[in-house]
Homo-oligomer: A and B are copies of this chain.
Amino acid sequence: MIRKELVAASAEPLILSLLSKGESYGYAIIQEVKARSGGKLQWTDGMLYPVLHRMESRGLIKSRWGESETGRKRKYYSLKKDGKTAMARHQEQWSLIHSVLAGLQKGQFV
């Protein structure tokens, strides 16, 4: 089980990166994150949907209602311009923390 704080910190960067490869919808995002993490990241829908709603209200992503081949309704999300900017910022910040942590483990400064 991944720590709650780490889930919170990684959710938005992961969603943005996923959507940068093309539009997707909630359920599929959960499946893809699980697959890409070897089953270790198991997001719940109760966690994901509020995140998507917040990101949409902040203008990072936009949504449209669509249908699957079988006629089931889906809400497809895609990146907006601000979302791409946010994604770049996230990557910078992750790199920073990661290098500080790596430096500590090796006894080096950034």
Contact = CB atoms under 8 A, between A and B. Distances in A.
A70 B20 CA distance: 56
A106 to B, nearest CB: 10
Number of copies: 2
A18 to B, nearest CB: 6
Given A18-B104, A101-B94, A108-B20, A9 B3 contact: yes
A17 interface: yes
Contacts of A20: 104, 108
The listed residue with most B CB atoms (<10 A of its CB), out of A94, A96, A108, is A94
Interface string A1-22: 0110110111011100110110
Interface residues of A, number: 37
Contacts of A3: 9, 90, 93
A14 B38 CA distance: 26
B109 A35 contact: yes
11 contacts: A2-B97, A5-B8, A5-B9, A6-B97, A14-B100, A20-B104, A21-B104, A21-B108, A33-B100, A41-B96, A98-B98
